[in-house]
Amino acid sequence: MKIESIQLRRMNMTMKHPFTTSFGTIHDKDFLLATIKDEFGHEGWGESVAFTYPWYSEETTETCIHMIRDFLIPTVLGKTIQHPDEVNDLFAPIRKNNMAKATIEGAIWDLYAKRNKMTLAETLGGTRDQIEVGISIGIEKNVEDLLANVRGFIEEGYKRIKVKIKPGYDVDVIRAIREEFPDVPLMADANSAYTLNDVELLKQLDPFDLMMIEQPLASDDIIDHAVLQKQIETPICLDESIHSLEDARKAVELGSCRIINIKIGRLGGLTEAKKIHDYCAAKGIDVWCGGMLESGIGRAHNVALTTLSNFTLPGDTASSSRYWEQDIIIPEVVAEKGYITVPSDDGIGYKPNMEAINRFTVDQWVFSAE
């Protein structure tokens, strides 16, 4: 498979509802799409999940443009690749910048699947024809608004509710949800808002039977999380701290978590995501697919990945309509009663909606092999 050309677009899509976490509020999604063509004109699509601001991780849309244009494209353009796993090795000399890498790597996976007339899910080794999904609810102005949201999403059938927490918006919020919904599968995501000084407070979450608490401590930590896990009953799930299979291995060996959130962008692509999935399956660690408020292209990649067998817990991949007035794929992603049907068309299985894509494009560049 020869990498003939790469088109990069900068996109801007306004979110239907701003999304607030302990690190800030996201009003619109400023992101990149990569379209990669082979020598036969097959087309693969990838999405960069970085945000405008370096709050979730150090990457931003601008750093992704720099890395993709100046380092990643020159590494693959004009090359002949037998299998997408090779991209991981080609990019290995370039440190970190995983979201930039995953943009190109994901497009090459889609291209490879389409060339072979297979779905991306099959190409990855996935086995499910539907996936179970939950919903991630941001920090709301008050508990009444939050409860109204929770109620609505439970009625829509989402398989579990995740709520964002932060200091001052935690134990009381979880208690209020549990009072109204004693049995709903529930979890909390702190996005690194606490330290070991908060152990007593975090222990107060134990009686609420949370499925997990996601990334309570520092975004680069696995040591303190191991200390915390020994003192709380709620299983810890790591998100921000895990960037590679090696990170996952160390966290599991240290006892820093019992669950891992797999995000393709954070891990530098589908190859590394699959490696962590396989490692966790062998170790008896549950995984689920996280979300980064993706457009349809990134969402489609998440759907395909979630078809692998050790994605035993519902992920954050909700319906397109939860995020966007209009998504950029046809059909849009739809969760019905908490299930998304995995598409059966080749590659990511959803068609790019070129009219919508053009409408949301703010800049674009084309790179061709000579």
Binding site for ligand OSB (CB under 6 A): 21, 56, 136, 189, 191, 239, 290-293, 316, 318
164 is catalytic: yes
For residue 247, which phi and psi values (nearest 5 degrees)?
Answer: -60, -45
263 is catalytic: yes
Side chain identity at 269, as an amino acid letter? G
Shortest Å distance, C-beta 41 to ligand OSB: 32
110 vs 247 by CB, closer to Mg ion:
247
47 vs 189 by CB, closer to Mg ion:
189
User: Which residue's CB comes closest to ligand OSB?
Assistant: 291
Nearest to 297 by CA among 253, 249, 348: 348
Shortest Å distance, C-beta 136 to Mg ion: 8
Stretch binding Mg ion (CB under 5 A), from 28-36, 123-131, 188-196, 241-249: 188-196
Shortest Å distance, C-beta 292 to ligand OSB: 5
Type and span of the H or E element at 117? none
Stretch binding Mg ion (CB under 5 A), from 75-83, 153-161, 186-194, 318-326: 186-194
Residue of 29, 164, 166, 275 with catalytic role: 164
Side chain identity at 245, as an amino acid letter? L
Candidates 105, 110, 189, 294; binder of Mg ion (CB under 5 A) is 189
Residue of 166, 263, 274, 275 with catalytic role: 263
Rounded CA-CA distance 342/344 in Å is 7
Which residues contact Mg ion by CB under 5 A? Answer: 189, 214, 239
Active site residues: 164, 263
